[in-house]
Structure 1
Amino acid sequence: MIKNIIFDLGGVILNIDFDKAANAFKELGIKNFEDLYSRATQSNLFVDLELGRISDKQFYGAMRELCGINLSDEQIKTAWNSLLLDFPQNRLELLKELNKNYRCFLLSNTNKIHYDSYQQELRAEHNIDGLEAMFEKCYFSHDIDIRKPDAESFKYVLEQNNLKPEETLFVDDTAINIDTAVDLGIQTLYINVEKGDDIIKYFENGKIGKLKPYINTEYTSATNLFKDNTPKLWNDDNAPILVGIGLRTPANIGGLIRLAGTVGCKKVILADDKLEHKASKIKKAATNGFKKVDWKFVPLNSWTDHIPEGYEIIAMETTPDAKMIYDVDFPEKVAIVVGDESYGIYMDSLQKCDSQLYIPMNGPVKSLNVVQAAGIALYEVLRQRLMTFGKG
């Protein structure tokens, strides 16, 4: 029986649109906003802001430095806040009703700049004295120095309020956050905003209605799609290596292990310092690669120690110096590096790589799942190897 509900904010209660911010920055003269966003992400600027580790002033200064335009603090703040849209009145009414029947909490990845903006919106437009008036307790990433999908953020809320996972419902619009909650035994409701989903559909008369089952559909079986007739292209001295930096979900970790097994990778290195992953969840996605592939977790600051001498380390990351993947010839010994599902390869890890490659994207969506990106890279390595195999 569900007694508690933990809500996400953006996309669930508050409408947001990241394209609005992108367009606002472009109107300020930043024509290559996607490139700026990528560089800011790699420098951990957004992570540091969401964790409260830098001030508003430091954020504005960093944005000025990245874009090379002398924008005022107010211009940057206005553009940054433009992604915040509105609080639909029916959602606010729903929260009032739910509070009569459940202990309701908020857990949001946010920052002080946005916090001040949407708090003012609530007071001015809805006569509500901030989000704190609508929940038993609010947890903002910039206050608690933890972000979703880190398991510690969920554990913090549970422990602080003596909540049992099985009696708690977590509502979010981001799949990797839902995956972590599932791993912890928390009940979940995934709001698929892109398909027009809304929390209003799942509650009635202040109570939880019929919940849809959450199924991660990214990893489906491909058994028997390919025949095992590929010649042995590598030996243990020159087989490719796959590196994952700060991966958050067991499904993605298992997916990389399975992928490595199909290509014939030497090993999979998973660089991470603090997250705990259930082996059963990894095993489910990795299938028989769980036992057949050499994979292990290593400290984030020493992952390069596990790559043999002579290997070229190539990051799959969109940077100003990145070359298109189809314009390069891969070396005989290569380690392919992919990064955190939300923020890519951390800057300190990126600096340890020899080069960067990007994958061209022709459609309106400009991002790939980490396993998809790794698959494109490794199979291009395999394709090039096949083209030269036996010609040596």
Structure 2
Amino acid sequence: MTKAIKNIIFDLGGVLLKIDAQRTIRAFGELGLPELIKPGGWGYNHPVFLDMEAGKLSEHEFRDGIRRLLPRAASDQDIDQAWCAMILDYFPERIELVRKLALTHRVYLFSNTNAIHVRHFHQLFQKTFAHSLSDLFVKDYYSNEMGIRKPAVESFEYVLNDAGLKGEETLFVDDSNENVESAKKTGMSTIWLTPDSDLLSFF
């Protein structure tokens, strides 16, 4: 990492937090949800999921939207459990890396997520590390609060402008190549973290 980099923006799922989207896909399948899978099989390609991540739906509206896709009744708890099934646990060595980098850089979080997941992974972090996830970062950014999702270039511009950062002084780390390619358009340096990559080795 060059001396020109003063700021680092991390994605969450697949980077700092272990996720397995197939667990949620299977859980919704057990509730009777048809397969509405995005190309590549990572997640769902349906407005109810995409709009939830863009903050266009309340939790109640999201659950009702899911219920309309199901062939039988499902409780709020059933839906929340299926939706959060993908969230596993944190990479402890990567959390420690973020702590160390925060001593020398301004560190941020930017995640495509939703209110139900935010509550779940914050509780998980607090339970695991006995302090708030937000304490790791200068600021954490969530698509549902911003009203815009990655990979829209405007989402990266929002973060840079809100945080007062220069693209050429900022490194963005994500496990989605599509997100990384969009981030490059703002002038940021990037790391595309593949399943075979060792995040610590980049630093």
TM-score, with structure 1 as normaliser: 0.48
Is the Cα contact below 8 Å between 2:55 and 2:145 reproduced in 1?
A: yes
Question: Match for residue 339 of structure 1?
Answer: none
Give, as a single letter, the amino acid of the residue that structure 2 aligns with 1:41: N
- Do residues 74 (structure 1) and 77 (structure 2) align? yes
Measure, in 2, the Cα distance between the counterparts of 1:13 and 1:127.
17
Question: Match for residue 162 of structure 1?
Answer: 164
Among candidates 19, 23, 26, match of residue 22 of structure 2: 19
Number of residue pairs aligned between Structure 1 and Structure 2: 195
Greater helix share, structure number: 2
Measure, in 2, the Cα distance between the counterparts of 1:24 and 1:47.
18
Give, as a single letter, the amino acid of the residue that structure 1 aligns with 2:91: P
Residue 173 of structure 2 aligns to a residue in which SS? Answer: strand
How does 1:218-233 map onto structure 2 within 5 Å? none
How many angstroms does 1:135 deviate by? 0.3
Question: Match for residue 199 of structure 2?
Answer: 199
Measure, in 2, the Cα distance between the counterparts of 1:198 and 1:33.
35
Measure, in 2, the Cα distance between the counterparts of 1:76 and 1:159.
36
CA RMSD of aligned residues (A): 1.5
Measure, in 1, the Cα distance between the counterparts of 2:164 and 2:116.
31
Measure, in 1, the Cα distance between the counterparts of 2:19 and 2:94.
14
Question: Match for residue 41 of structure 2?
Answer: none
| Greater relative contact order (CA < 8 Å, ≥ 6 in sequence) | 2
Computing the radius of gyration from Cα coordinates, the structure with the larger value is 1
How many angstroms does 1:23 deviate by? 1.5
Measure, in 1, the Cα distance between the counterparts of 2:119 and 2:164.
29
Among candidates 89, 102, 110, match of residue 99 of structure 1: 102
Deviating 4+ runs (over 6 angstroms): none
How many angstroms does 1:59 deviate by? 0.9
Deviation string 1:67-113 (CA, Å, 9 cap, x unpaired) is: 12101010010011000111021111111101001000111100001
Measure, in 1, the Cα distance between the counterparts of 2:162 and 2:126.
28
Among candidates 127, 132, 151, match of residue 130 of structure 2: 127
Ranges in structure 2 where 5+ consecutive residues have no aligned partner: 39-43
Question: Match for residue 34 of structure 1?
Answer: 35
Question: Match for residue 181 of structure 2?
Answer: 179
Question: Match for residue 54 of structure 1?
Answer: 57
How many angstroms does 1:126 deviate by? 1.5
How many angstroms does 1:192 deviate by? 0.7
TM-score, with structure 2 as normaliser: 0.91
Give, as a single letter, the amino acid of the residue that structure 2 aligns with 1:11: G
Is the Cα contact below 8 Å between 1:12 and 1:198 reproduced in 2?
A: no
Ranges in structure 1 where 5+ consecutive residues have no aligned partner: 204-392
Measure, in 1, the Cα distance between the counterparts of 2:85 and 2:163.
34
